Amino acid sequence: MDEPFAWLTIAVAAVVTYMWRGLGVALAGRVAPDSKVLEWVTCVAYALLAGLVARMILVPVGPLAEVALWMRLAAIAACVGCYLAFGRRLLPGVLAGAVTLAGLAAIFGL
Partner 1 sequence: MTQPPDSPAPPTPADDPAARRGGVRALRQGVVDALGAPALLLFASYLGFGSLVHGAELSLFAGIASTIATFALPGQIVAVELYATGATLTGIALAVALTNVRLLPMTLALLPRFGKAPRWQLYALAHVIAVTGWVQAMTVLHRMPMADRVPYYAGFAAVLMSSTLAGTVFGFLASDVVPAALSLGLIMVNPIYFLLMLSRNLAVPAHAWAMGFGVVLGPSLHLLSPDWGLLATGLIAGTAGFVIGRRPLRNRNG
Which of 9, 69, 70, 73 is in the footprint of partner 1 by CB under 8 A?
Answer: 9
Nearest to partner 1 of 10, 70 (CB atom): 10
Distances (CA, A) of 72 to 2, 78, 97, 101, 109: 30, 10, 9, 6, 13
**Measured between alpha carbons, how far is 54 from 69 in angstroms, rounded to an integer?**
12
**Residue list 10-69, contact with partner 1 (CB under 8 A):** 10-14, 16-25, 27-29, 31-34, 38-59, 61-64, 66-67
Task: State in Å, rounded, how far the first CA of the chain is from the last one.
Answer: 29
Q: Is 73 helix (H, G, I), strand (E, B) or coil?
A: helix
CB 108 to partner 1: min, Å:
10
CB of residue 70 to partner 1, shortest distance in Å: 14
Given 68, 73, 85, 91, the residue binding partner 1 (CB under 8 A): 91
